[in-house]
Structure 1
Amino acid sequence: MTETATAPTTTDPQAPNAAELSGPTSAIPAEELEQLTEDIIAALKTVYDPEIPVDIYELGLIYKVDIDDNRKVSIHMTLTAPGCPVAGEMPGWVENAVATAPGVQDVQVEMVFDPPWTPERMSEEAQVAIGWF
């Protein structure tokens, strides 16, 4: 993936789940890129942490999503804890879910632990779902 051919869609670590388009201009038309981004987020919201009744997107486990001009998606994600019992399976669940989004050509998921996940990364919706409000 070349930097000039990348249209990153990112979740800002300082603002949980604030998906935004930034970076270099994409060859993908803006409307199509917006729809693709929405479809990827919807797919991410179908994957749940088995120990917490909240999807991984609202939990703030998705740190970064890049979509290149060939519609290949690269995802950086984390877990609530490095020793999570589904650490080996969760990236596959994410890859399979995002691969179903219309227009996605390929998906790569990378597990990262920097910065470490904290409960502050959860959306307000996730906090309500687990009774923190």
Structure 2
Amino acid sequence: MSETAATAPNLPEIDPASEIPPAELDQITEGLVAALKTVYDPEIPVDIYELGLIYKIEIDDSKFVSIDMTLTAPGCPVAGEMPGWVETAAAGVPGVAGARVSMVFDPPWDQSRMSDEARVALDMW
């Protein structure tokens, strides 16, 4: 994992030996981030990417995307629906062959995962 991925946990993890040309990989990555930023927890006016709910994104050589995500709380009312929203958003990115979302709760989400943009939107400075 690169230093950038280590300091920005939401960035996709990409196999350094990936057969996808770097320019195409960058385009898919940018598309995935943009798509994830269209998904919101209905109770919080910040997208799931900026909230830090996306723990891991993997893009394999066939351009299939695997996403590990969490929720702000395990009892979230949209827990059953949100993974489908994320899968649909990711699968709709040009160049992506398909997507699978796994819900994880380890480590538990906390506010330290939020971006500065999320903190400003939620007035949490």
Give the structure-1-normalised TM-score: 0.86
CA contact (8 A) 1:28 1:69 kept: yes
Question: Superposition RMSD on alpha carbons, in Å?
Answer: 1.9
Give the structure-2-normalised TM-score: 0.91
What letter matches 2:42 in structure 1? Answer: P
Percent identical residues: 66
Aligned ranges 1:28-107 → 2 under 5 Å: 28-107=20-99
**Structure 2 segments unaligned to the other structure (5+ residues):** none
What letter matches 1:50 in structure 2? Answer: P
Per-residue deviation, 1:25: 1.2
Which residue number corresponds to residue 114 of structure 2?
122
CA contact (8 A) 2:70 2:104 kept: yes
Per-residue deviation, 1:126: 0.1
Q: Note the alpha carbon deviations across 1:28-47, whole angstroms, 9 max, x for none.
A: 00010011000000000000
Instruction: Tell me: CA distance 1:105–1:23, structure 2 relative to 1, closer, same or farther (3 Å).
Output: closer
Per-residue deviation, 1:24: 3.1
Q: Distance in 2 between matches of 1:37 and 1:65?
A: 9
Q: Note the alpha carbon deviations across 1:78-118, whole angstroms, 9 max, x for none.
A: 00000111000000000011111001111000000000000
Query: May I ask how many residue pairs the two structures share in their alignment?
Result: 123
